[in-house]
Each structure stands twice: as structure tokens, then as C-alpha cells.
A = this chain, B = another copy of it.
């Protein structure tokens, strides 16, 4: 007892800074930060009426527009365009075949005319017909070389510092953090572990039907051109049910594509947190919602307001957007 007692002051010294540290330093004091911290405390304090066992602390996050930027276009689409250029020497016919010709010539009008069907052709040509591992290697190669047109930074640095802090905070409180997003699962796995600390088995996205094959005796998993699952809208609760098998207690998105995931999360019993990143910062990032082609936020914004869900006003509430920026006060207070 004597030795324990004499060690107590030292123990307190070690513990106090950890208690005092702000888990969300890039968030201004405001409603969203308070709602997040209140929620986490409510479900993690043992004996609290809202207590949730660690195993059931499932938190799901959309990726595009929620964890990283999605402007001027989804980064995976920009990857596909760059892949068309890289692969063009092996496909001389692309010089005269739409929509590939449009990509090679930078012809935005022809590309727009090709529409969603054209985009799906480009995705198919760059995302399938190869093994999962080869596809991930391609994505990693691109992430090393390609630069964002506005900031000149690698795309996997265009991630939101406040959301990184939120992910870390949740994991420090024994939450299991998942990505549930419309992007290709393997594309996101190419960077999610290194960049977000989210391991491959906690990345859920859209995927293609695969085929196990023995290629000269060597087993491989080949990505076919057939879409297996579109992880958008209702596809999100469907994949959560299929892959996780538990209902999340926290869900964060930024667009109408996240609506059903938020509804599914909200409909569980007990305390839960539903949140939206609202892109309100035309200066430091982008400002868009109801009329945007990319990441349209309309119905989900109405529902959030009607139900008292957390809506993060990026311009007001985020002190910093990207990790490569210095920490400053947001311009609107």
C-alpha cells in the first residue's frame, strides 16, 4: 500500500494531460463538435443509460465528400481518365472510339454527350479484366503520381483533418470505424489503411463480380465487367446488413446518396448520431448542396433538419480543412 500511495501523484501527472487534451482540435467550438463529444461520452460511460458495448460501437462513414474532397469531380473518375491515357498505347482503337477519344483529346463536350453510359465504359475499361491485386497496384501508382488540379497535392492528401480527428477519437473510444461509400471497394482499400487508419476489412464499397482462376497454376481473383453491388443510396444499408451484420450507432455522410444509411442508423434503438458534412466553404474548399451534380445534398439536408441530425457547417465549424494546411480559425465566426 505504501508504494502504491507514493506512486499516486505520478500516476495523476501521467493521466491528466490525456484527460485534458481536446480530441477534436480542428473543430471550432460549436454545435457539431459538442454533439459528437456528447454522443461519444453518453455511449461509452459505463452505467450510463445510453451505454453501448464496445463490440456494438459501429461507426460508418461515406468517403467522397465526407472524408476527402469530391471536387471538381470524384477522384476515382479522374483516376479512370488518367488510366485511359496510360493504357491508350495498348488500345490504338481508342483514338477513334468514344468515349475514349474524348478522354484522350480532353474533349469535355463529347465526354458530356457520352453521359453515364460513356462513364461506365471508361470505368469498365480501367477497373475490370485484371486481378484485384493488379487493380490496387494501379491505384497506388496513380496516387503517387497524380496531383489535384486546384491544390497540386496528391489526392490522398485532400482528406479532411477534422474527420481524421473524429475517426481517431472514435477508435480511442473503442468504436470500429467503417467506410461505406459508392467508390470501388478495392480503389478505396488502396489508401484507406495508410491514410485513414481503416483496414481493408472495414472498407465497403461498390464492387464487380470476381472470378477465382488458376492462371498457370497460380490462383488469382479476376475482376469481371459485371457490377455486383452499387454501394449508393439503398445499397448502403444493404451492404451494411450483408457485410457488417450490425446496425451502426453513428453514420456520417454528405449527400442524398447517404440518406438511406442515415435512416437505417437512425431507426435503431438507443442513442445514435447521424451527421452530414455540409460543403459551405467556397474559399477553402467548395460550396455546394441542392443543385450540385457531384454530391447533391437536398432531401438528406431536409431530413437532417427535420430530425435534428448533426449538420456540419464546414465554413463555420472547421478550423482547418486539409492536414497540409496550417491550423487557423475559420473565416466565418
Contacts and interface: CB of A to CB of B under 8 A. Distances in A.
Interface of A: 2-3, 55, 132, 176, 185-186, 189, 199-201, 203, 207, 210-212, 214, 218-219, 221, 228, 234-235, 237-238, 241-246, 260, 263-264, 267
Given A211-B238, A234-B211, A242-B207, A219 B185 contact: no
B210 A264 contact: no
B245 A185 contact: yes
Given A221-B237, A221-B238, 13 more contacts: A185-B245, A189-B245, A199-B246, A201-B244, A203-B245, A207-B242, A210-B242, A211-B234, A212-B235, A212-B238, A219-B264, A219-B267, A243-B243
Nearest to A217: B267
A201 B199 CA distance: 13
A87 B237 CA distance: 28
B267 A212 contact: no
Please state the number of chain copies in the assembly.
2
Contacts of A55: 199
A183 to B, nearest CB: 14
Contacts of A200: 244-246
Contacts of A221: 237-238, 241, 264
Nearest to A237: B212
A236 to B, nearest CB: 8
Given A3-B3, A219-B237, A267-B218, A242 B212 contact: no
Contacts of A245: 185-186, 189, 200-201, 203
A268 to B, nearest CB: 9
Contacts of A201: 176, 201, 243-246
Contacts of A199: 55, 246
19 contacts: A3-B3, A186-B245, A200-B245, A201-B201, A201-B244, A207-B242, A210-B238, A210-B241, A211-B234, A212-B237, A212-B260, A219-B237, A219-B260, A219-B263, A221-B237, A221-B238, A221-B264, A228-B242, A243-B243
